[in-house]
Homo-oligomer: A and B are copies of this chain.
Amino acid sequence: MGEDYSPEAFEKVILQVSLAERQRLKGELDEYQLSVPQYVVLRALAHVQGGLSMSELAEAAGQVSATMTGIIDRLSERGLVERKPHPSDRRALQVSLTAPGETLLAQIGRKKRLRLQHVLKAIPEADRRQLLHLLHLYLNIILNEAAHK
């Protein structure tokens, strides 16, 4: 209430939220020795039957495939993901979570959920719903805009 409403104010708070969330995520992942890009990849692979190709992963993470090679190298050295041949295209690979990868992801999810419940307790229920709704709205707009670039 009483905030200055302007594009500048909006831009500033969005930037701060984005930076603070990433900082916090990095801190949460520290204990698992996972980087943010590695976590993004693990999440992208969750619940995807048959896995994703390297180029699909690169696309999902907003990176170039040469970058993804390195990320998957490190994740697969740790046994969290695996590269399998693509059934019909011999140029391509199918990357998927291993059992330990799924277990780790579930463990991180539980921890994040607990922490978030604690944060959300500080927001009245009606506001929580409203915030979730507006964030979806905002996300759809910026994703749509990004797609049209």
Contact = CB atoms under 8 A, between A and B. Distances in A.
Nearest to A118: B145
A133 B141 CA distance: 19
Contacts of A3: 132-133, 136
Interface stretch (A13-21, A68-76, A77-85, A97-105): A13-21
A19 B19 CA distance: 9
Given A116-B7, A119-B141, A123-B141, A136 B18 contact: no
B135 A13 contact: yes
B120 A7 contact: yes
Contact of A119 (B19, B109, B127, B145): B145
A92 to B, nearest CB: 25
Nearest to A123: B137
Given A10-B116, A112-B11, A134-B130, A142 B1 contact: no
